[in-house]
Each structure stands twice: as structure tokens, then as C-alpha cells.
Structure 1
Amino acid sequence: MFRPDDLDISDRAGTAQPATRSAVGGRDGGSVRDIWERVRACLRAKIGEEIYASWFTRLELDGVQGETVYLSVPTLFLKNWIQQHYVEKIAELWQPELPNARVELMVRSAVVRSGSSPASVAARRIVRPAEPRREATSAASAPTPAPEARAVASDMTGGSPLDPRFTFESYRLGSSNRLAHAAALKVAEAPAGANPVFNPLYLHAEVGLGKTHLLQAIAAAGAARGRRVVYLTAERFMYGFVNALKTQSSLAFKEQLRGIDVLVIDDLQFLQGKSVQQEFCHTLNALMDAGRQVVIAADRPPAELDALEERVRSRLAGGLVVEIAALDEELRIAILNARVAALAQQHAGFGVPADVLSFIARNCGQNGRDLDGALNRLLAHNQFNSSAISLEMAEVVVRDLVRSSEPKRVKIDDILRIVAKHYNVTRADILSQRRTANVVKPRQIAMYLAKMLTLRSLPDIGRRFGGRDHTTVLHAVRKIEGLAGTDRVLADELEALKRLVNE
């Protein structure tokens, strides 16, 4: 009896037929479907639950023929996004069972007649690479929007949830964030219908320095003044756009977002995918041209968002761009005092001596999250071990958080600039798709230095180098490491470049 687990694809008819058990289907008695479930589990573990839930829940196995694994998704947008970012990784996960596995990704039919057998359903899902299914283009053949279309759009305009603690009143000021706070307050206090003063307002900083606090304060204050405000993370924007495509409600999605007064986008560095970026650019232009306010935050300035198209970076840079610098010691103490007061309301009797606060402010990092981590440790030892908080106790409890000296923060943009100058190429050459020898070597060396001198992950470095896959970065790092071990001239060049970057 035919089982969908054993799908194969006919070379001539393009229909599903029972497949003879091959190595992939017979190993350890498992079926192709069992292997697919293991691959899905590995993929979920590697990329994390949030990314998996946003992009991969609709990815399905259609069959295996020879060394080719056929997978399908419901929309062309999802196909293109997964093809660009993850198809090689998915193929790698199949290789323990199918050593030379390659993945073909296709768009499956959205409508299947009821009462169909599993075999016929699977057969209709399969689109042969040589004969792709034609997309309906006429208005008469366009599918009717799904019933949940309006719900998706309404859900998006509700935005991401706000933390009630993030208000202007609870924001602590210092020299590092005063300008950003003043600009944010100016935007938030603008009356409904007023023309924006700074548009867009673009805030950038390292993690834990208060970007999200200011953005959510803007959103809350604007809504309190009767303005239609939507606060979204970049990932939430991507999720909403993909959902709109899946439910055929993209027009409603666009109309809802463009009908607001203030759009606030957080963590823009995570915005990925050409279609998503195009829609974001259209939305940005439509809002700003209509005199609506846009506020954006990211972990780097617009010029360093290499994964974004140039026209988007240019539009962002045309507004007010403000950096929130590292917190100085005085501001760190002010933040610690405020956090201690908040904890004391929840835990009666909790308090931290001034000398302990000074010790933490001087030695436990330069952002709010580091400070929170140190205080939480003190609280845990105080509450669970009944330990009095003292300087001696703090030195033991937070010893692994103490930094003997703060190293210089190396930026990938600095690495690109120095490597490009050293090898007489341009930054654009390094980020391009060119494969000539005079470009490939500087590109690989820049990737190697980015891995050695920054805390960026391989995927993040790949995004900063023209949207490349993390495996490309790993290959470059390993190649330069290997060459440096045998090529003394190259090893000396690398040391000279490291010194230039760290100066």
C-alpha cells in the first residue's frame, strides 16, 4: 500500500509514486518522514524558537528522489527568503542520512480539494523544477482573501506590547543620552496633526543603553495625546508582512500601517529579506511624504546597516541620527539607585550600601543590563542565603562580572575601512559579489579580523559583509588561519592590521 512517507517524483509524468526504499528511507528502519522530523527538530534548535516560528512552520516535505529533497512553502516570498538564507543549512542537516543531499524548494498549491487521497494531495504539492507551476495573474483567477485578512492587519496595527516601566519619568539622564532624550521628548510631545520636526528620528547604541526605553516612552506618550502610534520590532514587522502575504491581505496591511500618525520600529538591524525591505521602504516613504512621524532604533548608524538597500540607508540618514554612548559612572550610579528603589518595593528591607553601588558602577560593565545582572545576584544571595550585603560579599558574588579594564570597542566598519585602504580596494568592493583575487583576499581577511576582534556572531558578520551566509564567513576565517600558519608575510600583515584597528 502506498505511504506518503515514501514519496518519489516521476521523471516523466511529475506524479507521486511509491518509492523503493533507499538508504535514506531504510536506515535504522526509519522512514523519510522520520528523518524529516529529525531535520526539523535540529533546525529549530540551531536557529531558535522565535525565528523558526516566524519562517519555518509552513515548510513541508513533498518527497525525496535520489539525492534531491523536495520541500515546499505556501508563498513565493517565503520560498525566496528561505532559499536566500537557509537552504544550504537545511541540506547540511539531511547529509548524515543522505550524504550528497541537495534541496529543491517550491511553492505549493494553496487549495486542495476535500476528499483527496494522501497520494494525490502529495502529488499536487510537487512542482517539478523544469516545469514550475504558473501563478494566476488575472483578477478573475486571483484567490479570494482569507477570512482572517482583516484580523491580521488589525493585529499588526496593535503593535508589539509596551513595558509600562519604560516612561520618560523613569529614564535616567547623563551626558551620554541627554541629546537622545531631548529629541525623543520633542517627538513625543508634538500635538496631533503637527508636522514632524525630526523625520525620521534615528537612535543607535550598543545593547542595554536605553534605546528601547526611549522608543517605548515615545509610543506611550504619543498614544496618551490621542495620536495613532504603532510600536513594532523589526522581526514583528517581518512576521506581519509574511502573514499578510499568506492570508492575501497585503493591501490591508499596507493601508493600516500607512494610516497611522507615528511608526516606531525597534532593532532595525534584524530587518531581512528583499521583499520585506522593499515594503518597509515604501511604508517609510509613504508616511514621511504624508507628514507622519517615523522613529527608528538600531545597534549601529544607518551607514553601517549593510544588509539594507542603499536607498533605505540614505533615507534614514536624512533625518536626525543620534548615538547613545556608553553610560558614565555618575549615570550608572543613578540607574543603580533607581533599580534598588524599585526592588525594595517588591522585597521589603532590601538595600545596597553606597560603597557597594560605587564598586558595581566602576567594575560591572557599562550598560543597564550588566547593572541589572549584578543587582539580581546581590538580591538572590541576600534573600535566599540571608547574607548581608557588604563590599566583601559583593566582590565574591559578582567577581566574574568584574572587568579589569574596558577594551576598545572594535567596529566592523573600522575593519572594512582599514583593510580596504591597506589593499587599495574600496569598501564597496569588499561588500560586493566580485570574486577576483584582488578583492577576495581583502574580503576574507576582513571577515577573519571581524571574527577575531569583535563579539559579533558568524551570521551577524555575514550580514555585515553584503548579506553573506555564516558558512562563507567560517570558510574565510579557517582559510586565513591556515594560510597565516605557513605564510610569514601574511601573518605579519595580519598583526599590522590588528594594531591599526586597535589604535
Structure 2
Amino acid sequence: MQVPEGSGSEHWNRVKKRLRAELGEDVFSSWFARVDLEEHNEGTVRLSVPTRFLKQWIQSHYNDRLMGLWQRECENVHRIELTVRGAIRPRQVRPAAPAAIPAPKRTKPVGAEQKPEAAKTQQNPVSAAQAATAAVGRGENGGSKQNDLQGADLDPKYTFETFVEGDSNALALAAARQVASGGSVTFNPLFLHAAVGLGKTHLMQAVATKFKNSGRKVLYLTAEHFMYRFVSALKAQSALAFKDTLRTIDLLLIDDMQFLHGKQVQQEFCHTLNSLIDGARQVIVAADRAPADLDTLDDRVRSRLSGGLVVGIQEPDFSLRRNILSTRISTAQRNYPQFDVPEPVLDYVASHIASSGRDLEGALNRLVAHNQLTNAPITQEMAEKTLRDLIRSNEPRRVKIEDIQRIVSKHYNVTKADLLSARRTRTIVRPRQIAMYLAKVMTPRSLPEIGRRFGNRDHTTVLHAVRKIEELAKSDHTLSQELELLKRMLDA
């Protein structure tokens, strides 16, 4: 019987909210969207899931995190039980299930000696792998199965010809061109890391297009798509076919590697990586930071990724930003021959939008739209007015203590009055310490001033809170992730 509304369900809702914030919407939807709270009683939390597979996966990969989040809500929780909901159980014992256990053995070459009837029943796993491999090799866009396997289609705009070179990306571009040349495999894996909008995906897809045009087999996936595909293959008992498909391609590209979670998925990725590299097949991986800084990855995966060529792409300097704008203007003039941007306006945009090439393209698109829709010439005044909010968003945001108190209160479901009060309960003390820590590291305010803003506390209290959170964050991975999440929310 499910727990009544208004008791443990409120705690469970807050636990789910934190899980969604920490894991992201896609991962949360995959593993926790169908988890229900059945009972919360005498220190034991009972949760139910629809399948045995989901139960085993959560127990293997998220049990400690669940326990930590529940104990943050209720200190007396000491046990979490996962059960499979009764309505689903009959599906676990259907007659067809045992036949799937020996299936991998029958896909070996000796299977050709089986009787025709037996060979026919074992055809599907191998056929699925061969069909998927062939579809990847052809680079077809029409079949839905191929699209599912390949993930996002390659963008035809992302080629080497449209990539603008500068000091900040020259090494990455040279490495990508070397890989795309099709000679001997030298840089394997090639690992590209950079912040958003600096050209990682552009270079990866340029290499993929070059490979694809030469008739070789290419597979481009995001890390989350790889994770989803692997888990789906496990559920469908077609993991062997999925792995066989991966290991027969010529180029594997994995984008957003920072989102690859789960011990079993990472182990399989590492096996696939080793198999492709040992077979002289090319692998390119991209992430928002270097392999050594991807704390969520298994040590073996980090080591393997670091063993190739690791190249970072830095923020573009003024010269590169200017060249990006000039190149994009030339492209726009093919459709709008009369479109023109004066040199002073180019200098203004390149000087004030410095974060990424993607923001520069967005700024230019606004100027094109304004010019074409109003027929007004591009002037300095018009550019300043049109790009005002975009330029402001690229300026460093000043975080206020009031912002920190508001965000922390909302995140931990306490009030601002609680943070400023003298209450010493655990559910209040920890958020208060975190808020003080964030005020110290994200604002220029002094310790005494921070203390005054938190209920006229002494500066030594603030110092103790800062040191306490710093020390806990070193050993508590969940807390460390929460701090990073709060910082991102405050910077947004």
C-alpha cells in the first residue's frame, strides 16, 4: 500500500527534486521517473519499481546517493528497500525468458551446424547487429532504426571549410585534420575539451563528414545517447548485437563525455574503446573539461582517454572573434547581397562579445534580422540597442548575498528567516553554513559583513562555516556536486 500523502511523500518529493537537479532531467527520467514511495516507517524507506532490471540498476549505482539524500531529510533513516511492483512480476517468469539465456553461445560460427529450425530461431541477434552495422556504413538518413543508433544527424554546416582558425584552436584543428586525412591512426583517442560554443562539436562533425564521404563507417553519439542505447540493449537482451555493431565501425565519436554515468555503462564504454583502439579504429571524444578533471568517470576510463592526444580549445582572442564575424558576414551576403557591417561596428561586437563563437553568430543573426526587417542600415547605435541584452549577459554577473540566501532557501526547502535565526537543527545549520560559504567565495564581502547579513553573527562563526563546508566537500561527493549546482544557479 502506497504511503499516504502528506507524510513521507513530502520527503520523497524533495529527494526526487534533488536527484533531478544533481543527475539532470534525462538521467532522472531514465532511472527514477517510475520509482514510487510505498512506505516510510521506523527508519525504513520502501520504494517500488516496475522491473527487476531497474531495481538491480538502482541498487548497484544509486543506493548510497539515495541513502544520503534520505538521511538529509530524515536522520533516522537507516535502510532503503527496493521491491518490484506486483503487477509487473508475472512478466518476469514468462516462458520465453529462459530461452534468452544461452542465446549468445548460438551466435558463434558453430551455430551454422545447428538444425535449420534451431538456426532460424537464433537469427535475430546477429541479423540485428549486421543490419545496424550496414546502415551505419551506408550513412543513411531515411531509416528510423539507423537514426536511433546514430543519434543526432551530422550538421552539413560543420566542415573544415567553415571552421575559422586562430591561436586558441590551431592545435585542435591540426589534430582533427590529421585524423580526417585517413592515414595511419596516430592520435587515438583524440580528446577535445573546451567550454560551450568554442568549436568541439564543429571539429568532431567535420571529421565525421570526411570519414563518411569516403565510404567508411561512422557513429556519432552523445554520452547520454550511448548510455541510453546500451541500457535499452540490456533490457531487450540484445547487448551482444549492440556491442558487435560498435566494434565494427571505423570512427566512433562521443560528445559531452562529462554526462556518462553508471559503473556498468562506463565499463562497457572502456571495453569498446579498447577494442576499437586495439583494432586500429579511430575514436574521438569531447567534453567540457580534460579527462583528469572528469571526477564522475571510472579511473580506467580516465586513464584510457588521457593515453591519447588531449587538446584544449581556449576562448577566442579579439583577432579570432573578428575573423569569425567576417566569415559569417560573407556567408550572410550570399543570401542578402546588400547586407554590410561597417568596420567600427565589427570592432564593437568583437570587443564586447568574447565568450564563444556561438554567441558571435547569435549577435550577427540579430543584426541581419534587424537590417532585413526594418531596412535600417547597420550603425553603432543600432548595434548597441539590438545587442544590449546579449552584451549584458556576457558581462560577469555580480552575485549578491540576498541571491545566495534566496537560492539556498529554495533548494533546501527552508525559509530565509530560518537561515538568519538562532535555530541549531541539522536541517537549518547545514544550509546556513553552505550559504555562508557561497557568500565568501562568490562575493567580495568580508567575514564580519557576511556575519551581519546572517543574523548579526560573529565573523568567527562565518569562518568556521566556510572551513567546515570546504572540508566536507573534499570527501562528500554529493555535497561537492550540490555546491557546483548552486554556483551554476547563481551564475545563471
TM-score by length of 2: 0.64
Corresponding residue number in structure 2 for 1:330: 319
Give the deviation of 1:64 after TM superposition: 2.7
Corresponding residue number in structure 2 for 1:108: 84
Corresponding residue number in structure 1 for 2:47: 70
Deviation string 1:7-66 (CA, Å, 9 cap, x unpaired) is 4xxxxxxxxxxxxxxxx52659xx98x999999799769966534444445x24373353
Give the deviation of 1:167 after TM superposition: 0.7
Question: Does 2:134 correspond to 1:158?
Answer: no
Give the deviation of 1:338 after TM superposition: 2.4
CA change 1:56–1:351 in 2 (3 A) is farther
Hey, what's the Cα distance between the residues in 2 that align with 1:400 and 1:183?
36
Corresponding residue number in structure 2 for 1:80: 60
Hey, what's the Cα distance between the residues in 1 that align with 2:484 and 2:171?
42
Give the deviation of 1:140 after TM superposition: 6.5
Hey, what's the Cα distance between the residues in 2 that align with 1:383 and 1:452?
46
| Alignment map for 1:397-476 (pairs within 5 Å) | 397-402=386-391, 452=441, 468-470=477-479, 473-474=482-483
Question: Does 2:101 correspond to 1:142?
Answer: yes
Corresponding residue number in structure 2 for 1:251: 240
Contact 2:193 2:288 in 1 (8 A): yes
Deviation string 1:84-141 (CA, Å, 9 cap, x unpaired) is 556766898xx7xx998898463638xxxxxxxxxx527x59xxxxxxx99xxx9768
Hey, what's the Cα distance between the residues in 2 that align with 1:186 and 1:281?
24
2:305 pairs with 307, 313, 316, which one? 316
Number of matched residues?
A: 381
Question: Does 2:346 correspond to 1:371?
Answer: no
Match of 2:310, SS state, is strand
| Alignment map for 1:197-346 (pairs within 5 Å) | 197-345=186-334
Give the deviation of 1:382 after TM superposition: 3.4
Contact 2:315 2:354 in 1 (8 A): no
Corresponding residue number in structure 2 for 1:25: 4
Corresponding residue number in structure 2 for 1:391: 380
Hey, what's the Cα distance between the residues in 2 that align with 1:343 and 1:103?
62
Corresponding residue number in structure 2 for 1:61: 36
Corresponding residue number in structure 1 for 2:453: none
CA change 1:183–1:253 in 2 (3 A) is same
Counterpart amino acid of residue 83 in structure 1: N
Counterpart amino acid of residue 87 in structure 2: V
Contact 2:353 2:394 in 1 (8 A): no
Counterpart amino acid of residue 72 in structure 1: V
Range with bigger deviation, 383-392 or 359-368: 383-392
Q: Which runs of 5+ in 1 are unaligned?
A: 1-5, 8-23, 110-119, 126-132, 408-443, 455-460, 479-503
Contact 2:45 2:79 in 1 (8 A): yes
1:181 pairs with 173, 184, 191, which one? 173
Hey, what's the Cα distance between the residues in 2 that align with 1:451 and 1:279?
42
Hey, what's the Cα distance between the residues in 1 that align with 2:341 and 2:485?
49
Corresponding residue number in structure 2 for 1:128: none
Corresponding residue number in structure 2 for 1:11: none
Hey, what's the Cα distance between the residues in 2 that align with 1:348 and 1:78?
58
Match of 1:202, SS state, is strand
CA change 1:238–1:87 in 2 (3 A) is farther
Counterpart amino acid of residue 25 in structure 1: P
Give the deviation of 1:164 after TM superposition: 1.1
Contact 2:191 2:285 in 1 (8 A): yes
Q: Which runs of 5+ in 2 are unaligned?
A: 105-121, 133-144, 397-432, 444-469, 488-492
Hey, what's the Cα distance between the residues in 2 that align with 1:164 and 1:198?
25
Question: Does 2:374 correspond to 1:352?
Answer: no
1:172 pairs with 164, 187, 199, which one? 164
Deviation string 1:196-245 (CA, Å, 9 cap, x unpaired) is 11111111222211111000111111111121111111111111111112
Give the deviation of 1:354 after TM superposition: 2.2
Counterpart amino acid of residue 63 in structure 1: E
CA change 1:394–1:476 in 2 (3 A) is closer
Point out the structure with the larger helix share. 2
Deviation string 1:299-343 (CA, Å, 9 cap, x unpaired) is 222222222222222222221122222212222112112223334
Deviation string 1:150-171 (CA, Å, 9 cap, x unpaired) is 7699356434321111011111
Hey, what's the Cα distance between the residues in 1 that align with 2:180 and 2:484?
47
CA change 1:379–1:472 in 2 (3 A) is closer
CA change 1:27–1:362 in 2 (3 A) is closer
Hey, what's the Cα distance between the residues in 1 that align with 2:484 and 2:181?
51
Hey, what's the Cα distance between the residues in 2 that align with 1:26 and 1:253?
43
CA change 1:321–1:162 in 2 (3 A) is same
TM-score by length of 1: 0.62
Contact 2:11 2:70 in 1 (8 A): no
Contact 1:365 1:402 in 2 (8 A): no
Hey, what's the Cα distance between the residues in 1 that align with 2:76 and 2:303?
43
Counterpart amino acid of residue 242 in structure 1: V
Give RMSD over aligned pairs: 4.7
